[in-house]
Chain A
Amino acid sequence: ETGVTQTPRHLVMGMTNKKSLKCEQHLGHNAMYWYKQSAKKPLELMFVYSLEERVENNSVPSRFSPECPNSSHLFLHLHTLQPEDSALYLCASSQDTIRSNYGYTFGSGTRLTVV
């Protein structure tokens, strides 16, 4: 384990379902991220949460809704998804200051299939 735990590992859902992905980090990091990894495409940043800000990629559809109740937990709420949303969803965390950089730590991802 990397210190970033994602659940579930696999998820199959219909287009009318509502589900949530969960991420938890045990590293004391102060920022958390959601990435989407599709075949043949670069990893795509979806959302960022840190102590000071929330950043989102404007190209992410509103059927994806993030929630970050505290610095250790991050959720991605899913509703009325499309088949093209099938992908590996990766959570990451980092501890960054202007004076230091510790890189990202990724979880193992949730493999989502929309049927």
Chain B
Amino acid sequence: QQQVKQSPQSLIVQKGGISIINCAYENTAFDYFPWYQQFPGKGPALLIAIRPDVSEKKEGRFTISFNKSAKQFSLHIMDSQPGDSATYFCAATYLFSSGSARQLTFGSGTQLTVLP
């Protein structure tokens, strides 16, 4: 059972536009919600993350909006640039009871293409 659902699967945006990717989760044990960016031939890299006690977090052109009651969160990329073209993964995670490692569950990914 997929615990984190992500949409859309692919997204095409004009340069300067806003890219929006949505995710929904089911497990209320999740306590940290990161977004990862992956370029071809590379592993995913942490982009931005939010805790569930915060409704919004902004870092530069990237903003996470979080709705705890709806169990939904989204990534907004403002002023999208061709260099933002990559695959974006939302994720949700919780600490194992030992406190020494994390269970990280990924969404299925969104292939973003920003046209010049």
Contacts and interface: CB of A to CB of B under 8 A. Distances in A.
Interface of A: 2, 4, 30-31, 33, 40-43, 45, 48-53, 55, 90, 92, 94, 96-98, 101, 103-109
B91 to A, nearest CB: 8
B100 A52 contact: yes
Nearest to A31: B101
B38 to A, nearest CB: 8
Contact of B109 (A42, A96, A104, A108): A42
A2 B22 CA distance: 27
A107 B107 contact: no
Interface of B: 2, 4, 32, 34, 36, 41-46, 49, 89, 95-96, 98-109
Contacts of A45: 103-105
A103 B101 contact: no
Given A43-B44, A98-B95, A30 B109 contact: no
Nearest to B2: A42
B55 to A, nearest CB: 19
Contact of B100 (A42, A43, A96, A104): A96
27 contacts: A2-B45, A4-B43, A30-B100, A31-B101, A40-B108, A42-B106, A42-B107, A42-B108, A48-B103, A52-B98, A52-B101, A53-B96, A53-B98, A55-B103, A90-B44, A92-B104, A96-B100, A97-B100, A101-B95, A101-B102, A103-B46, A104-B34, A104-B102, A106-B36, A106-B43, A108-B41, A109-B43
A93 to B, nearest CB: 10
